[in-house]
Amino acid sequence: MIGLNFVYAVAGSVFALFAALALIDAPRRAANSAFYALLSFSFYAGDIIGDFGNGLLVVALAAIAASGRFQARPREASPERPRGDALFAAALVIPAMALVGTLLFKQVPALIDGRQATLVALALGVLLALGLGYAWLRPGSATPFREGRRLMDDVGWAAVLPQMLASLGAVFALAGVGDVVGELVGGAIPQGSLLGAVAAYAVGMALFTMVMGNAFAAFPVMAAAVGVPILVRQFGGDPAPVAAIGMLAGFCGTLMTPMAANFNLVPAALLELKDRNGVVKAQVPTAVPLLMFNAALLWWVLS
Amino acid sequence: MGEVELMLVLAGVAVIAGGFLLRFNPLLVVLASALVSGLAAGLDPLRVVSVFGKAFNDSRYVSAIYIVLPVIGLLERYGLQARARALIGRFARVTAGRLLLLYLLFRQVTSALGLTSVAGHAQTVRPLVAPMAEAAAEGQGAGDQGERVKALTAATDNVGLFFGEDIFIAIGSILLMVGVLQGYGIAVEPFELSVWAIPTAAAAFLVHGVRLHLLDRRLGRSTK
């Protein structure tokens, strides 16, 4: 069955090629190569080196990042060899494959792991697009990976930040950070005030999401502290809007925090923005009115 | 729980906030925060490393997106970004704001149908939409806008995704809500939750749409 193992094998191979090419193209910047080699190792062998082994791998990644030796490429514009509009068709292979995968892959559970349909479609789309690219453009065999490695150098060590933050969430959960935040927010609500409870719930969702970088982590905490005991039980609110609108208030928080690195920091790097927080800053003027809208909507529904 | 323990558990949060503000390397800040939180909760450091390592391994799928970079790099080498700019140049009436509004609608509608990964920062924003938006902005003759248009393109992708996906009943966040509420003995159908995502989706389209309209105003009308 094609599932995560297949996707991780593809990812491990891509990072292995990045590591090799980084070493060949810029031997003085061995830190980049080592960083990619560790990621490749993580994709290939993460399941067999044990939890502590993975922990050491993370420490090594962080040490390379903090050493300051991981460098973005010097601006070297690769010579473009212009082709026509068929490039758009090639660029749409991956999105088209995602479409096919989402719609069809769940119908063939014997062949493809339905839970991983999206990722499998992504990996298949990449392989298909690469195959077409080789056949049509006839680049050197290393060219796609050399160009890909340059883009990866631009993203830099920020590439693993989303994964690191997701892992931090696990440690926070174990340490009981959520319970404490829930206690604090729950204690801040004036007794018997629906408006106060709604405001604490919506703003609490946004703020705690900003701390955790993820509304999924904030929702169970705020549901336990305010949503279920106060909004649903005390004020008799309908649980469906309480949950749904609370989650969306959390999404407003996701727009406003560098902790949601895959949505906010990685795109800034991919677009080569000088301001690391440029995307966050562009989102705040949308997120704040939307948060107020969510709080108002919930208050209107409950009162 | 006593005051002191309360504050101790939050020390990890303080480390992360302070570390980001003081601009230490974020990977180190995250590790330090994990260590402090773990210690405050009475875990020994080796155990914290193991917990962190296990979570890191379990969330590798987050980093799988980078496998698209060789494809994007190859196509860009053969002029994809330039083609995207040229395409916009052929349509005089396309402004950056209108283009992004269209993209916002596309992203919200496809996400609402569960097709969240047909677009994204690596697949569509960097190679296609951002160059198009920049080309359109240049055509509007307002001079150099710095990074504003690019940043707003990434923002538009996020807004479209976040406030579209919850309308789809089988998305992760909906399933999470059903599960959490079930834990309190409250039964809700995914459909009831997804319906309540519609008003906010409309509001997001309005609010962000107004901002895109304001962007066009700032950029000025094209003289083309």
Q: List, as one string, the DSSP characters of B146-208.
A: TTHHHHHHHHHHHHHHHHHHTTSTTSHHHHHHHHHHHHTT----HHHHHHTTHHHHHHHHHHH
pLDDT at A76: 60
Is it the case that residue B18 has pLDDT exceeding 90?
A: no
State the CB neighbour count (10 A cutoff) for residue B90: 7
Rounded Cα distance, A49 and A114, in Å: 27
pLDDT tier for residue B224 given thresholds of 50, 70 and 90: very low
- Segment 10-39 of chain A within 8 Å of chain B by CB: 10-11, 14-15, 17, 39
> Does residue B205 surpass a pLDDT of 70?
yes
Query: Chain B, 11-40: which have a CB under 8 Å from a chain A CB?
Result: 12-13, 16-17, 20, 25-28, 30-31, 33-34, 37-38, 40
Mean pLDDT for A216-224 is 87
pLDDT in tens, A223-235: 988 999 899 999 9
The reply to whether A216 touches chain B by the CB within 8 Å rule is: yes
Cβ of B68 under 8 Å from any chain A Cβ? yes
By percentage, how much of chain B surpasses pLDDT 70?
Answer: 95
Query: What is the average per-residue pLDDT within A33-62?
Result: 96
Confidence of residue A254 (pLDDT cuts 50, 70, 90): very high
- Do residues B122 and B69 lie in contact, with contact meaning Cβ atoms separated by under 8 Å? yes
Which sequence spans correspond to the domains of chain A? 4-74+86-159, 176-302
What's the average model confidence in pLDDT over A265-273? 93
What's the pTM value of the predicted model, to 2 decimals? 0.87
Rounded Cα–Cα distance for residues A29 and A19 (Å): 11
- Residue at B75: amino acid letter: L
Look at A230-234, B147-151, B174-178 and tell me which has the smallest mean pLDDT.
B174-178
CA distance B84 to A273: 19
Question: Distance between CA atoms of A182 and A226, rounded to whole angstroms?
Answer: 8
pLDDT for res A78: 62
What mean pLDDT comes out for the span A35-45? 97
Q: Map residue A2 onto helix, strand or coil.
A: strand
Rounded mean pLDDT, A41-70:
94
Nearest CA-CA partner of A148 in B72, B81, B25, B156: B72
> What ipTM describes this predicted complex?
0.88
More confident residue, A111 or A201: A201
Q: Which of B16, B121, B155 sits opposite A286 (nearest CB)?
A: B155
The pLDDT value recorded for residue A14 is: 98
Residues of A in contact with B204 (CB under 8 A): 286, 290
Q: What is the per-residue pLDDT for A165?
A: 84
**Comparison of pLDDT for A287 and B175, the residue scoring more:** A287
The C-alpha R_g of chain B, in whole angstroms, comes to 22
Contacts of B163 in chain A (CB under 8 A): 248, 251, 290
Q: Where are the domains of chain B?
A: 3-58, 64-219
Q: Does the pLDDT of residue A171 top 60, yes or no?
A: yes
Q: What confidence tens digit (pLDDT) does each residue in B64-123 have? A: 889 999 999 999 899 888 888 888 878 878 899 999 999 999 999 999 988 887 899 998
pLDDT tops 90 at residue B54: yes
C-alpha distances in Å from residue A145, one per residue of A18, A154, B65: 6, 14, 15
Residue A238: pLDDT above 70?
A: yes
Q: Find residues 284-303 of chain A whose CB sits inside 8 Å of chain B.
A: 285-286, 289-290, 293-294, 297
Q: Please, which pLDDT band fits residue A212 given cuts at 50, 70 and 90? A: confident
Q: Which of A102-111, A202-211, B1-10, B86-95 has the highest mean pLDDT?
A: A202-211
CB B55 within 8 A of CB A170: yes
If phi > 0 it is left, if psi is from -120 to 50 it is alpha, else beta; for residue B141 that is: left
The C-alpha atoms of residue A87 and residue A85 are separated, in whole angstroms, by 5
pLDDT at A86: 87
List the one residue out of B190, B154, B150 whose CA is nearest residue B170: B190
> Is B91 in contact with A100 (CB distance < 8 Å)?
no
**pLDDT for position B92:** 72
Higher pLDDT, A140 or B141: A140
Residue B27: half-sphere exposure toward Cβ, Cα within 13 Å: 22
Judged by phi (left if over 0) then psi (alpha if -120 to 50, else beta), residue B79 lies in left
Element (H, E) at A36: helix A30-45
Q: How far out from the chain centre does Cα A91 lie?
A: 22
pLDDT of B126 > 80? The answer is: yes
The model's pLDDT over A7-24, given as tens digits with 9 standing for 90+, comes to 999 999 999 999 999 999
